[in-house]
Amino acid sequence: MERVVANGLIGVGKKFVVTLLVMRIFSHSHAHQWMLLFLVV
């Protein structure tokens, strides 16, 4: 169970980091769309 939880947290962490990187790369108007996209995926 602990491994499953750890892997889940790592997956969420990676998604959060990628979202932050995307927000920096793209303009603010596109950032919100990408955030919604990553939240859905």
At 29 the pLDDT is: 63
Number of domains in the chain: 1
Residue pointed to by tokens 């491994």: 3
Q: Which two tokens stand for residue 3?
A: 């491994």
Question: Given this model, what pLDDT does residue 5 score?
Answer: 93
- The helix (run of H) or strand (run of E) holding residue 7 is helix 2-25
CB under 8 Å to 34, separation ≥6 — which residues? 19, 22, 23, 26
pLDDT digits (tens, 9 = 90+) for 1-41: 789 999 999 999 999 998 888 777 776 666 677 777 777 76
pLDDT at 37: 76
Domain that holds residue 16: 2-40
pLDDT computed for residue 13 by the predictor: 93
Residue-level pLDDT at 38: 75
pLDDT score, position 28: 63
